[in-house]
């Protein structure tokens, strides 16, 4: 994968010659983008958490918690921009570990829901999933130029990419719940999303570990 250069134009990419520095997010434009994305995630959390609580939906619960976690972790990303490589990599490790914990919580919730409760309303899940997709698509459009960089910057993009996948899964889950009148599609979707989160957590932790070693 081509690495982004730490230059006045964050979209510029290395040519593979020599050792190009990875974009660390230390530009006013990237800070403004992060602040906008934090606001988008906070608003989406409030809307989707309400639906998840009313419906008892594992997939909506996963979606809402992810929006909340993203708002918090993007705040961490914003706070460590411009600090040492060790500080940025350490923050990314915290985000990776938090994502793994979130994935395990979602998996546990899906298993618990499998043994109790009636199926949620499919049209509510689909509607809120579509709402989440629009919010995530807007965030992704803001961040797409900065999808490569150090572990701190890359973790922001990976979280946003996961959110897009998650929202599509949630919207499709609502249709499946409506067609089958069963809670199982919702619970299966929650488990699939937990696996996606675990994979991203591992990727973030691995890159963070490598960058911490290089910084030392």
Task: Please report the pLDDT score of residue 160 as a whole number.
Answer: 84
What is the Cα–Cα distance from 192 to 168, expressed in whole angstroms?
Answer: 12
Task: Please report the pLDDT score of residue 7 as a whole number.
Answer: 39
| Spatial contact of 42 and 71, defined as CB atoms under 8 Å apart | yes
175 pLDDT higher than 60: yes
185 pLDDT higher than 70: yes
132 pLDDT higher than 80: yes
131 pLDDT higher than 80: yes
| Segments making up each domain of the chain, as ranges | 28-215
In degrees and rounded to multiples of 5, residue 5 shows phi and psi of -85, 150
| pLDDT tens digits, 68-127 | 878 887 888 788 787 777 777 777 787 778 778 877 877 777 777 666 665 566 677 788
Which of 124, 3, 100 minimizes the C-alpha distance to 52? 124
Who's near 166: CB < 8 A, 6+ residues apart?
Answer: 62, 63, 66, 132, 136, 193, 196
| pLDDT tens digits, 29-46 | 888 988 999 999 899 888
Nearest-Å Rg of the Cα atoms of the chain is 18
**Mean pLDDT on 131-158:** 83
Query: What secondary structure letter does DSSP report for 215?
Result: H
CA quadruple 187, 190, 194, 195: dihedral, nearest 10: 70
Please report, for residues 154, 158, 159, 211, the alpha-carbon distance to residue 22 in angstroms, rounded to integers and kept in the order given. Answer: 10, 16, 19, 11
Tokens of 184: 């199982």
Task: Please report the pLDDT score of residue 40 as a whole number.
Answer: 92
| pLDDT tens digits, 148-159 | 777 778 878 887
Tokens of 32: 């403004």
15 pLDDT higher than 70: no
4 pLDDT higher than 70: no
Mean pLDDT of the chain, nearest integer: 75
* The Cα angle at residue 209 between residues 204 and 213, in degrees rounded to 5: 150
Task: Please report the pLDDT score of residue 119 as a whole number.
Answer: 59
Q: What is the pTM of this model?
A: 0.64
């Amino acid at each position: 994968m081509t690495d982004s250069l730490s230059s006045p134009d964050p979209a510029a990419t290395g040519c593979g010659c020599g050792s190009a520095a990875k974009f660390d997010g230390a530009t006013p434009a990237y800070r403004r983008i992060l602040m906008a994305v934090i606001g988008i995630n906070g608003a989406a959390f409030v809307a989707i958490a309400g639906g998840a609580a009313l419906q008892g939906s594992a997939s909506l619960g996963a979606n809402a918690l992810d929006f909340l976690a993203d708002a918090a972790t993007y705040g961490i990303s914003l706070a460590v921009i411009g600090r040492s490589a060790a500080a940025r990599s350490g923050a990314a490790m915290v985000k990776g570990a938090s994502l793994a914990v979130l994935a395990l919580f979602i998996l546990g919730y899906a298993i618990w829901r499998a043994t109790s409760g009636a199926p949620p309303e499919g049209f509510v899940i689909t509607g809120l999933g579509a709402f989440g997709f629009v919010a995530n698509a807007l965030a992704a459009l803001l961040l797409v130029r900065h999808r490569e960089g150090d572990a701190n910057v890359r973790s922001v993009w990976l979280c946003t990419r996961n959110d897009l996948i998650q929202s599509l899964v949630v919207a499709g889950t609502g249709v499946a719940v409506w067609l089958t009148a069963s809670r199982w599609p919702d619970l299966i979707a929650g488990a699939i999303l937990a696996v996606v989160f675990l994979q991203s957590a591992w990727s973030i932790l691995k890159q963070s570990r490598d960058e911490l070693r290089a910084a030392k």
